[in-house]
Structure 1
Amino acid sequence: MLSAALTGFFTSISLILAIGAQNAFVLRQGLMRAHVLPLVLLCALSDAMLIAAGVAGFGAIVTLWPAFPAIMAWAGAAFLLAYGAARLRAAWRGDYALVLAGQSAGLWPTLAAGAAFTWANPHVYLDTLGLIGAVSTAFEGPAKWAFGTAAVAASFVFFFSLGFGARYLAPYLRTARAWQVLDTLIGAVMWALAFGLVRGQL
C-alpha cells in the first residue's frame, strides 16, 4: 500500500511539475493574489476527476475515439496562441497600472480561463488518462486506489503550493518592467506549447 501510494504521488508530481500553460496561469494569478483559492481548487479537482477516470480504466476511451487527440490538440493550440498573444501584447504596451494596484479580471473570467487551460489541454489527458492510468495497472485492489488517492493528493499539494507560494515572489514584481518580463516569458511559453501541438499534428 505504501509503495503504491508513493508511486502515485511521485508519478503525479513529476508530470505536473513540467512548465505548462496551466501552471503559468496559476503562477500569474498567485502573484496577483487574485481568486487564488477558487482557481487552485478548480485545477486540483479537475485533475482529481481525470486521475480517477484514468485509474478506473477510462483511458481506453481515448483509443476508441482516434480523432479525440487531434481535436484537443488543435483546440488547445488555438487557445494557447490567443492567450500568448494577449500576454505579449500586454508586455508590449507595458500598462500595468491595474496589476500593480492589485486589480485583476473577475472571478468567473478567471475560472473560465483556468478551465480552458485544464480541459482544452491535450497533455492533461495524456498525463492523467494515459500515463497515470497506465502506471496504475501495476496495482490491484486497495493498492490501486492508494495509488490513485496519492496521485490526487499530489495535485492538491502542487497547485496549492504554487498558487499560495507565488506571493513570496511578489516583492520582486513591484514594477511594470518586471511584469513585462514575466508576461513575455509566459507568452513565449504559450506559443512554444502551441507550436509543439501543431507540429505534432502535421
Structure 2
Amino acid sequence: MKKTKFYLNCFLILFFTLVFSNNTEASILSDSNNLSKEEIQNHLIDIANRYEVGETLNIEDSEFIKTYGDKTQNTNVIQPFGLVSGTKSFNYENSGLKVTGSCTYNFWGSPISNKYDCTVYAVSKYSGDTTAELQHIGYGLGTGGFLIKSYDKTFTKTKSGKSSSVQHKDDYFGVTAYGIFIGTAKSEAQGISVSQTLQ
C-alpha cells in the first residue's frame, strides 16, 4: 500500500510539473501579440541560451522564433529560399549603460553562404572595465516545422574605462532560415549589463 501511494505521488508530481511547464510556454505564445519589445528580446535571448548548436528547438520555441526572428526565406513554402540582406542598428540605453552599433548581413547568398559584419559599442557611466559583446545565432529549418540551432558565436572586448567596442565579420556555410544578433554592454565593476536584439 505504501509503495502504491509513493508511486501515485510521484506520478502526480510529474504530471503537474509537465502541465505547468507546457502552460507557461503556451501562455508566452498566446500572449505574444501583447508582449513588449523588451519581453520579446528577453525571450529570444532565453531561447538562444537554452540550446546547443545542432539541437532541435521544441515546437513552442520554434514558433516564437518564426514569429519574431529575422525571416530569411519565403515562409509560405519550404523552397525556394529568398535572398535577404540589410543593415540593422543597435541603440539601447538603461541603468547607466548604452549599447550602439550595427550589423550588415546577407543570408542565403550563394545559396547557403551566410555573411555578416557587426560592430557593437558599449558606453558606461561607471568607472572600471567596460565590455562590449556581440552574439549571432542562426536557426535552420528542420523537418515538421521545427527549427535547428545551426550557428552560435559570441565575441567580446573588455577595456579599462567607460567605453569599449567589438567588431567581427564572418562568412559561414549553413542553412540559416532565421537570424538573431545580440549586442550587449557590461559594467564589470557593477556586475550589470544591458542587451538589445536585432531580429
Larger Rg: 2
TM-score for the superposition, normalised by structure 2: 0.22
Choose between structure 1 and 2: higher helix proportion: 1
TM-score for the superposition, normalised by structure 1: 0.21
